[in-house]
Amino acid sequence: MIRLFAALAIPPDAGAALLTRQTGLKGARWRPLEALHITLRFIGEIREDVARDLDAELAVIAAQPFEIILEGAGCFGEGDEVDAVWAGVAENPMLRRLARACEGAARRAGLPADPRTYRPHVTLAYVRRAEPADVAAWIVANNLLKSPPIRVDRFGLYSSHLGRDGSSYALEAEYPL
For residue 18, what are the contacts with CB-CB under 8 A and spacing of at least 6? 10, 36, 70, 87, 122, 124
> Residue 87: its pLDDT value, please?
98
Band of pLDDT at residue 13, cut at 50, 70 and 90: very high
Query: Is the pLDDT score of 165 beyond 80?
Result: no
Hey, which CATH number is domain 2-176, 3.40.640.10, 3.90.440.10, 3.90.1140.10, 3.10.290.10? 3.90.1140.10
The overall average pLDDT reported for the chain is 96
Query: Is the pLDDT score of 166 beyond 80?
Result: no
Each residue's pLDDT tens digit, 39-96:
999 999 999 999 999 999 999 999 999 999 999 999 999 988 999 999 999 999 999 9
121 noted as active-site residue = yes
Catalytic residue, chosen from 21, 31, 41, 121, is 121
Residues 24/80, Cβ–Cβ less than 8 Å: no
> Residue 129: its pLDDT value, please?
86
- Helix 48-59 × helix 93-108 angle, to 10°: 140
Catalytic residue, chosen from 21, 31, 37, 41, is 37
Query: Is the pLDDT score of 148 beyond 90?
Result: yes
Average pLDDT over residues 146-168: 92
161 noted as active-site residue = no
> Residue 27: its pLDDT value, please?
86
